[in-house]
Structure 1
Amino acid sequence: MLALAFLVVALIGFFTAPSRAAPIDDQFQAWLQTDFWPEARSKGISKKTFDAAFLGVKPNLKLPDLVTPGETPTTPEKQHQAEFGPPASYFAEKIVRAVTTGGRTRESANARVLGLIEKRYGVPGEIVLAIWGRETGFGGAKMPYDAFEVLGTKAFMSTKKDFFRTEVLAALDIVERGLAPVNAMKSSWAGALGQPQFMPTSFLKHAVDFDGDGRPDIWNSTPDVLASIANYLVHYGWVRGRGWGTEVTVPANVSCSLEGPDQGKKISDWVAMGIRRVDGKAFPASELKAEGFLLMPAGRSGPAFVVTPNFYVLKEYNTSDLYALFIGHAADRIAKGDAIFNASWGAVGDLHRSDIAALQHALEAKGYDVGSADGLPGFKTRRSIGVWQAKNGKPATCFPDANLVAAIK
């Protein structure tokens, strides 16, 4: 009788237990065939290309920013990308020097090609070299991921599904057009391709055939790689004949909250406010009438700069002030020799991304425009911090720290 009772309980449990969701791999395959394939077919992708691209592909659950189907996304506690750590770490001398030393070597080896590129696109060779060096170590970095695994996973279950859906369709288009075979489509963890680290849509828009072999090859052709980077920058508005910016000193009476691409002034106006180049030289007369922007990526705890619109073109390559500054700084060192920033980076940063997001939400609740409460201390967050500090009788630092997070919350 006891055994019979256990059997009855087990049977009741079997019939009343909720059905479990299908394994992620099965959900992914169902999504590919019933959701994604019809759209790919409507975009001109053949079944042969589609099947070859996704042969054996399973979702890679180790990729960042994924959301399990049915769950709600949350702000990650930690962010391991260098752009979100202490600013000083981003400019570690061994990292900068690797790009500048390698850039000078390759500047000599590719002088003719770089000259032709600068003539056609107006982008200095050292800028192109700095991006090439930063992105993949001048092509030396290995791309360990299958692009269709990365892009497919993210289109299926990332926090930016629509963005990656567009990218994986573009990746399929690259193969369909015969611009690259499936087995060449290796990428970074973000799905970026080749030596310039182009997303697939950027490849289709900006990759150029500069060596004249009939197709743009950002995997193996140095001329194509360099020209494609320059073409990308031109597309986003690179101004021929202007640099990216210069380090300056900012007097204490000039608020750090004046930074940002929407608060530009004539460079002569910045000079009238007491801002000076750290090298002691005057701004060229041709620049004084042009627009410049204040940049203080670590607030008062680091170097300050007056930058040109070209700085913000560099940000189109990677939406980080530190990245664009790295490229400009490295380019200067390739062209003029190694020289560190005049001002030092203070001991700031290294907060969890969730801490900064909490700070941003608190500022938003008080009516400040932080751009987006994404956990990243962009210029709108920095200057909002400065304004809040000034209104509350505190010295304006324009950069988040642990004490500030607690005070504003």
Structure 2
Amino acid sequence: MFRQILAAALMGLTLVAPAVAQDRAAVERQFQSWLSDTIWPAARRAGVSRETFQSAFGGVRLDWDLPDLVPPGSTTGPRRQRQAEFGNPGRYFNRGSVDGATSVGRQMARTHANTLAAVTRATGVPGHIILGIWGRESGYGRVDIPHDAFRVLGTKGFMSRRAEYFTGELLAALRIAEAGHAPPGAMKSSWAGALGQPQFMPSNFLEYAADGNGDGRADIWRSEADTIASIGNYLARHGWQAGRDWGFEVRVPDAVSCALEGPDRARPIADWVAAGVTRVSGRPFPDHELRQPGSLLMPAGRYGPAFIVTPNFYVLKDYNNSDLYALFVGHVGDRIAYGVGDFTGRWGDVGGLMRSDVAAMQRGLEALGHDVGGADGLAGFKTRRSIGAWQQANGRAPTCFPDAGLVRALAR
């Protein structure tokens, strides 16, 4: 249980401990009644057979170690949050993660060259981008995915703060089992209910999973071909633009404000060039990109590498809504395909704040009329550029990244 609690705390998740006197046996009985009286009728209406239902839930009990649980009759009182440290973005690109995903990815590129080429022809998504996601999500299928999906989703559907959402995902998982995509015992998930090697939530599986080896199933647990095809299909269906890159590392002169960051402030890449933005490689931007829109991305403000990214970057964010995730995937993909090295820009020594501190600073910016994208303690592009705009308005050099001085000046 300690590992789950620690992991949740590090991700800023809400943890609610059941009351000491909680009668777990009584809650288990309520869970079984909920399965029989609520979930089974809904599953039957969705076309799930009794055999599939019983196979899924035979012997399944609640998983009390999962985060964000609210047992029936709980007397936990007000919601409590454990705010994780707001760290240096550079930690996301640690040596082991980047090198491991790259070296194994190159092996996978050779092993699955035919499948990757076929999926690229069908979807327009480059194989090295698919490999970047596969490596990040499950280490190319080498990372253990230990949880019983029905136990996780059943527990969260019965007693979590997002019970309605997870109940829908549970019913989607039963439909997957009914269709025979995964044999009995293969329906493994993360602690959040994400399935298989591409880590699809069940509803995403039903929408985007693809059969890559022609056997009539989309087995994202054991089939590398199905995993590759499913990731490619997901990205294509979310708008991947064939023939365009995801982005380019650049140098941003002081005259170009970091407060210009964000996809809603995109402009033709030729305009960024005219403003003095250059590629760190010294090479010009490809001719076919110059007329196309590009956005400024500075994930650590002036304390880290800068990029001009295309709409494809934001397709990667549709897979996992994190600038750093999308940047990692694109970067590892480039290392696999082109042998590029580390980013030229260095990550500065920033971070060390608590997420609660960052959230207080965000509330201060909101009170001044800035759109920070929500006071969640995470510095997304709306928060970063709001910081830069406030700094400029107050005669400060814009850095576009939280620090202790900004917290003292703005916290609410």
TM-score (norm 2): 0.89
Give yes or no for contact 2:187–2:221 (8 Å, CA) kept in 1: no
Task: State the match for 1:10 in structure 2.
Answer: none
Q: Could you say what secondary structure the match of 1:167 adopts?
A: helix
2 CA distance for matches of 1:129 and 1:52? 34
Q: CA deviation at 1:20?
A: 8.3
Q: Output the CA distance in 1 between the equivalents of 2:62 and 2:284.
A: 56
Residue equivalent to 1:173: 175
**Alpha-carbon deviation of 1:330?**
0.4
* Equivalent residue letter for 2:35: L
Q: Distance in 1 between matches of 2:126 and 2:88?
A: 29
1:140-219 matches, cutoff 5 A: 140-219=142-221
Q: Give the Cα separation in 2 of the matches to 1:402 and 1:213.
A: 57
Letter in 2 for 1:138: Y
Give, in whole Å, the separation in 2 of the partners of 1:369 and 1:285.
35
- Map residues 285-364 of structure 1 onto 2, 5 A cutoff: 285-364=287-366
Q: Which moved more, 1:364-373 or 1:278-287?
A: 364-373
Distance 1:368 1:205 in 2: 36
Asked whether the 8 Å contact 1:75–1:353 carries over to 2, the reply is no
Task: Note if contact 1:75-1:374 (Cα within 8 Å) is conserved in structure 2.
Answer: no
Q: Is the 8 A contact 2:360 2:410 kept in 1?
A: no
CA deviation map 1:110-137 (0-9, x unaligned): 2222111111111111111111111111
CA distance in 2: counterparts of 1:74 and 1:86, whole angstroms: 28
AA at the equivalent of 2:209: A
Shift of 1:68: 4.3
Instruction: Give CA deviations for 1:305-341 in whole Å, capped at 9, x if unaligned.
Output: 0000000001111110000000000011111114000
Q: 2:67 matched to 1:47?
A: no
Q: Tell me if structure 1 keeps the 8 A contact 2:180–2:217.
A: no
Q: Tell me what 2:10 maps to.
A: none
Q: Over residues 348-372 of structure 1, what are the superposed CA-to-partner deviations in whole Å (9 max), with x where a residue is unaligned?
A: 2243332222222222222221112
Aligned counterpart, 1:113: 115
Task: Give the 4+ runs in structure 1 shifted more than 6 A.
Answer: 19-22
The alpha-carbon distance between structure 1 residues 191 and 64, as it changes in their structure 2 partners (threshold 3 A), is same
% identical aligned pairs:
57
8 Å CA contact 1:76, 1:353 repeated in 2: no
Match of 1:9 in 2: none
Selected match of 2:402 from 372, 383, 400: 400
- Provide the C-alpha distance between the structure 2 equivalents of 1:209 and 1:181, rounded to a whole number of angstroms: 15
**Superposition deviation, residue 225 in structure 1:** 1.1
The aligned counterpart of 2:105 is 103
- The corresponding residue for 2:253 is 251
**Residues 260 and 293 in structure 1, CA contact (< 8 A), matched pair in contact too:** yes
**How many aligned residue pairs are there?**
389
Instruction: Look up the SS of the partner of 2:308 in the other structure.
Output: strand
Partner of 1:138: 140
Deviations 1:230-255 (A, max 9, x none): 01100100000001000001111211
Aligned mates of 2:342, 2:105 — CA distance in 1: 16
C-alpha change, 1:177 and 1:375, in structure 2 (3 Å) is same
Deviations 1:141-166 (A, max 9, x none): 11111111211222223332232222
Q: Which residue of 1 aligns with 2:128?
A: 126
Deviates more, 1:387-396 or 1:242-251: 387-396
Cα pair distance change 1:47/1:365, threshold 3 Å: farther
Distance, in Å, in 1 between the alignment partners of 2:214 and 2:383 is: 46
- The 3-state SS of whatever aligns with 1:184 is coil
The AA in structure 1 aligned to 2:106 is R
Instruction: Note if 1:29 corresponds to 2:32.
Output: yes
Matched to 2:42, the amino acid is E
Alignment match of 1:76 (pick from 70, 81, 84) = 81
Alignment correspondent of 2:60:
57
The residue correspondences of 1:260-299 to structure 2 (distance < 5 A) are: 260-299=262-301
Q: CA deviation at 1:297?
A: 0.7
Could you tell me how far apart the structure 2 residues matched to 1:177 and 1:213 are? 13
How far apart in 2 are the matches of 1:352 and 1:162?
Answer: 31
The RMSD of aligned alpha carbons is 2.2
Distance 1:73 1:245 in 2: 44
Q: CA shift at 1:54, angstroms?
A: 2.3
SS in 2 for 1:316: helix
Cα distance change, pair 221–372 in 1 and its aligned pair in 2 (3 A)? same
Instruction: State the secondary structure of the residue aligned to 1:310.
Output: helix
Paired amino acid for 1:282: P
- List per-residue Cα deviations over 1:59-107 (Å, max 9, x = no partner): 3232233344465774632348xxx642111001111010111111111
CA distance in 2 between counterparts of 1:390 and 1:23 reads 59
- Given that residues 137 and 199 in structure 2 are in contact (C-alpha distance below 8 angstroms), is that contact kept between their aligned partners in structure 1? yes
User: Do the aligned partners of 2:52 and 2:177 also contact (CA within 8 Å) in 1?
Assistant: yes
Q: 1:405 to 1:47 in 2, by over 3 A?
A: farther
Q: Which amino acid aligns with 1:271?
A: V
Change (3 A) 1:228 1:161: same
- The answer for unaligned runs of 5 or more in structure 1 is 1-18
Which stretches in structure 2 are left out of the alignment for 5+ residues? Answer: 1-21
Contact between 1:67 and 1:73, CA under 8 Å: does it hold in 2? no
Matched, 1:382 2:374: no
Q: Letter of the aligned partner of 2:57 in structure 1?
A: F
* Contact preservation (8 Å) 1:127, 1:328: yes
Instruction: Output the amino acid matched with 1:225.
Output: T
